[in-house]
Structure formats: structure tokens, C-alpha cells
Amino acid sequence: MTTASYLVIGASHRTCSGVIRDRLATDDAEVPGVLERLRAVGVTQALWLSTCDRVEVQAVHPRPNEAALAIAAVMAERVGMATADFSDQLYTRAGPDAIRHLFAVACSLDSQIIGEPHILGQLKAAHRGAATLGLTGPELEAVLQAAYAAAKRVRSETPIAEGATSLAAAAIQVARDLHGDLKRCSALLIGLGDMGTLVLDGLREAGLPRLTIAAPVDRRAEAAARRLSGHFAPWADLDSALAGADIVVTATGLGRYILSTAMMEAALKRRRRRPIFVVDAAIPSDVDPAVAGMDGAFVYDLADLERVALQGRVGREAATQAAWSIVDEAVAAFARDRAERAAVPAVAALRAHFERERRRLLADHSGLDAGSATRLLVNRLLHHPSEALREMAADQDGVGLAERAAAERLLFRLFRLDGTAAEERAADERAADERDEDERRESGRHLQ
């Protein structure tokens, strides 16, 4: 029986440039086509997770190395690169490492902002998309459900999510201090990073009525605008969109400055110096540091918002460590459960074999007394194992000796022969002590 292995292959903010991630990323309408492409190359249990921080395939396959190459080829095909040129921008996890990675993703421990709440919903949406196309199976379902359970524990047993939400709350506080009633403001989201989306969610809940979205890939920005009930601004019109925004949230993480001093000066001039509150939620930064020194531009990065939120770093580190402890505990429990399930067919087969021998013996020797019947049954059950051990003993080369030693160790472990032998020795010693005591008492009586 071939055992399926868990596999994760993808590109994230740690391994891949923002430009490549944007080309690799998918919107909802494109996902079915990508999943069908995975099916076509032989990956039949998989989901495609596309977020601003990562694009990755979480899969199950009996030949993980072969599947990893096939998945990498599909990804390279999407960005228009040769697989060999693209592979150095990918990460690959297999087996226990893949399981731990998946759990960490679900618990938002692998995000740019630890504890951000969006990733779990995105993972579940990717799961639903794969299930709709029949690309899930028992192994993938099992690991995903275990990951969701771990995420629930992390949310309920640690304050890890408080860090991300407090940053959004701090942004709302600064926006109100600068602009007053947010119902009179408009915002521009540049890029679709998770922290930027989180800040915008908070601003919308606080009453912000008007939102415009721009991103380096126009189709992604347009899809996000529909999803968030906002307006779409083409990337080529970013200067005009900037001039119309009271609040700007940048979240591209492209590794270069998106907002320059020249752009900001032009926008402030068109606004007649009305101030702009800028939240630089990107890692690395989207905003030229010189912008913070301009009159009318109020720039806060994530560290600034953390100070506003009075979020203690020690407390956040402790929460993160506690979350990782839960993840490691959940991964170990999942591995134990899968190992126990894998052993069930062998145990069932062994039990069925014993039962067949018992019935055959009763049918062939119905008149035997209990003692004779049980001795005969034991001999029958041990016949084939004994023959196999004798064959191993006859094979005196290194392989045969090692095989016999491994078989003997397994027998001692399966039937607890070490424990049985120890118990028998202890029983013999107790019986000998009792005999000695009886003899001493008998000798004492004779002497009297």
C-alpha cells in the first residue's frame, strides 16, 4: 500500500519578489482553471492558496518529489518563466515539515503581521474551491480540519490576535485625531497586503464611506474593489487617486518606494495643502522616508502604530511562543492519530487471520478438550512466524542478521516479551522465597 505524503510548494514575501507574486496570484475566477491544471499534471488532492503574502499549493501525493516538480511547472507556466529559472523563488515542504507549515499558516504565525485574522478565512475559501472541483480527499481533509482546530485553540487560548487588531485601532485613532469625523473622509488602498486590508476594514467599520483601490496588477485591484464595495483606480492613474484621498494605506511590499516626495508634493498641491494621513503597512516599506518630513503628510508605519497602541513587545512575543507551543502540540497529536489509523488495517488483518485459524481448528478437531485445543491453536498461529525466523537465522550475511535482529526486536515490542520474562522471573523468585520460608518453618518445628 502506498502512503500519501503531505506537500506544500509556493512563493511568499520571504522567497519571491512582489512583482512575481503579483503575476502568480489569482483572483476567484481564475482559481478553477489553475486547479484543473494541477489535476491534469496528476495532482488530485490539492488547494491553491493565493493571498498578498503568498501563493502556495497544499497537496497530498504518494510521490511528493514528482508532485513538487509538476506543481512548480504549473506555477512557472503561470508567470511565463522556465521552471529551472523560477524554482529558486519557491519553497518546498514535505511530510512533517509541510504539516507544521500548514498549521502555522492557519494560525497566522507565518504571516507578515503575526496574528492577522484574514488568512484563516482565505485558507477556508481555498479549501471550499478545491472541494467544489473534487480535488480534496480524506488525507487533505484530515490535515485541514486539524489545522482549523489548532487555529481555534490559538485564538481562544492566546492573545495573539490582539496585536494585529490593536494596530488597526491605532490607525483609526490617528485618522480621527487628524481628520475628525471619518464619515467625511475618503481613503485610497495601494496594494492588497493583509495588514492594509485589515486597517481598511477597521476604517470602514468606523464610518469611512469612500474607498478607492489601486494595485500594480489592475485586474486584482478591480476584483478587490468589487469585493470590498469600493472604486477601482488603474495603476496608471495613481497620482490622481492620491490627490483625492484623505487617508492612504499602502500595502504592496514590492521592495521599492511607491510614494515618492514628488508624488506627495503634487497631491498636496492639488489638495491645497489639506493633510494626508499615510499608513505604510507594507514590509518592506512602500513610502520614501523623506515623505514623513513634508508639511501636510503624516506618515505612520507599523512600528509607529504599535507605539500608539501601547502594545508591549514582550507580551506579543510571549503570545507568539504560546501559539507555537499549541501548533507543535497539535502537529504531534495529528501525527499520532495518522500513525494509529495507518496501523488499523494490519491489526484487522492479523485479527482476521487468528479468527480463521480458530474456526478451522474447531471444525477439524471439535472433540478436543480445552487444553489440547489451545496448544494446537498456539502451534498453528506460531508456525509461519517461526519458519520465517528460522529462515532469517539461516541467512548469515549482514542483511540477514540485521533483518533477524529487527524482527526479534519488533516481536519483543509487539508482545511485550521483555515484560513477560521479567514477570515470570519475579514469580519464580517469589515461589522460591516461599519454599525457603516453608522449609525454615518445617525445620523449626523438628528442632522443637
Annotated active-site positions, please?
Answer: 52
The reply, when asked if residue 111 is annotated as ligand binding, is yes
The reply, when asked if residue 419 is annotated as ligand binding, is no
Cβ pair 211, 224 in contact under 8 A = no
Residue 178, CB half-sphere, CA atoms under 13 Å: how many? Answer: 21
Cβ pair 297, 276 in contact under 8 A = yes
CA–chain centroid gap for 5, Å, is: 14
Residue 360, CB half-sphere, CA atoms under 13 Å: how many? Answer: 10
Which helix (H) or strand (E) element contains residue 427? helix 417-447
Cα 237–Cα 240–Cα 244 angle in degrees, nearest 5: 135
The reply, when asked if residue 192 is annotated as ligand binding, is yes
Choose among 126, 201, 112, 120: nearest CA to 154.
120
The reply, when asked if residue 50 is annotated as ligand binding, is no
The reply, when asked if residue 54 is annotated as ligand binding, is yes
The reply, when asked if residue 231 is annotated as ligand binding, is no
Choose among 253, 265, 266, 296: nearest CA to 278.
296
Residue 24, CB half-sphere, CA atoms under 13 Å: how many? Answer: 31
- Cα(170)–Cα(124) distance, rounded to whole angstroms? 28
The reply, when asked if residue 118 is annotated as ligand binding, is yes
- Cα(216)–Cα(234) distance, rounded to whole angstroms? 9
The reply, when asked if residue 386 is annotated as ligand binding, is no
The reply, when asked if residue 263 is annotated as ligand binding, is no
Annotated binding-site positions for NADP(+) = 191-196
Annotated binding-site positions for substrate = 51-54, 111, 116-118, 122
Annotated binding-site positions = 51-54, 111, 116-118, 122, 191-196
